[in-house]
Structure 1
Amino acid sequence: MKKILVMAALAICSFANAQKGTILVGGSIGYSSETRTLGNNEVKNNEFDFSPKVGYQFHENWTVGGEASFGSSKTKQGTNEDRFNTTKLGAFLRYTMPLNPTFSFFAELGLGYQSEKDKTYAGPITTTAKGDGMYVGVTPALFINMKKGFGLNFNIGGLNYGTINYENNGPEYKNFDFNFGKTFNIGVSKNF
């Protein structure tokens, strides 16, 4: 089996704040592309995700705000194609614990509404499935202050739970995800 080629571009830009009464603006953007061979068939998959976030730091250690996520993926195998779109709109609460002037630990709780749309093209036949539900997740991270408030954010996964109910008596999905160490994200931030 050929080795899977995965290109991931993830740029997280987060403007974390160190004082009460400041605004947090941040987000992430990601892209991955994969091509694999199954027998005589080549399968191509492309994914894109954009997740903006805005918050207000109401206490030296606490921030509350809104978050969103917009995702899109396309998988093609021969004449068959599957397009999958996701949307999440919710709120977050972040607790930051400074360890020293260089390092801070933060944990973030996010929850909200999510929706999915799956469109499948199998030759001349097209099917569409739509669903919505809720999500909740906890993500720990480490902030490293590099110079003059510029720094890096590191997280290695989190704990997530979500539900999706599809329309027209479709299936109901419940997902519990514990992925510490399974994912790794690096972000750039600015404290001001």
Structure 2
Amino acid sequence: MKILKLFFFIALLYTTANAQITKGNWLVGGDANFSSVKNKSETGDEKFNDFRINPNVGYFFMDKISGGLQVNLVFTNTNPGNDSTKASSYGFAPFVRYYFLETDERINIFAEANYSYRIGKTGSSDNINWNGYGFKAGTVLFFNSSVGLEFSINYVDTTRRIDNFNINTIFVGFGFQIHLEKK
């Protein structure tokens, strides 16, 4: 079974080898990142450890410019240690991405902006809604004309809607993107 999966992945890489960041092509992939935030307030200090997985799909409506939708899966541990609370949330984030260098460059630089909305739950509590926006910039290294490895610096401003609790986070991320050619 593992050999079949490996064969499928290699076949996918070679069948899409002529596509990249040009109009009419698709972007499929995602990234993962980890952040640790300490919040100081009048009521006490809180620490948040977040692990995020963000699969996405996008479409190049112009050369070097894509728009699409990202799914956000966030796993949070608040105040790690004896008094910890674990939470998870999921949501959606429409995005727009721009690549700065020419379409045939092996290494390229990109910037992305998004708006996100998430729904989460902490233990037995009711659903908690979050919304916010984010920016990221980074470098993508293309292994071939279709598959790229990304490294990015991210900024996210998120607000918990129930009490207007706001978190601003800067973190690094990495991910893969596959650029599929429209046939």
Q: Establish whether TM, by shorter chain, passes 0.5.
A: yes
Name 1:108's counterpart in structure 2. Answer: 112
User: Where in structure 2 are the equivalents of 1:91-130 lying within 5 Å?
Assistant: 91-98=94-101, 101-119=105-123, 128-130=125-127
Over residues 142-190 of structure 1, what are the superposed CA-to-partner deviations in whole Å (9 max), with x where a residue is unaligned?
A: 11223343332111x2222121122xxxx3212233x2xxx33333334
Deviations 1:74-117 (A, max 9, x none): 57756x66230112212001111125622211100010312232
Distance between the aligned counterparts of 2:65 and 2:137, measured in 1?
Answer: 14
SS of aligned partner of 2:161:
strand
Larger Rg: 1
1: distance between equivalents of 2:108 and 2:119? Answer: 33
Number of residue pairs matched? 149
Q: Using CA pairs under 8 Å that are at least 6 residues apart, name the structure with larger relative contact order, 1 or 2.
A: 2
**1:115-146 CA distance string (max 9 Å, x none):** 23212xxxxxxx52532131101100111223
Q: Greater helix percent: which structure?
A: 2
Seq. identity, %: 21
Structure 2 residues not aligned, in runs of 5+: 1-15, 36-47
Instruction: Give the structure with the larger strand fraction.
Output: 1
User: Root-mean-square deviation (CA), in Å?
Assistant: 3.1
* TM-score (normalised: structure 1): 0.63
Match of 1:187 among 175, 178, 182: 175
Q: Measured at CA, do residues 134 and 30 of structure 1 come closer, stay the same or move farther in structure 2, by a change above 3 Å?
A: closer
Q: 1:174 to 1:52 in 2, by over 3 A?
A: same
Describe the shift of the 1:49–1:162 C-alpha distance in structure 2 as closer, same or farther (beyond 3 A): closer
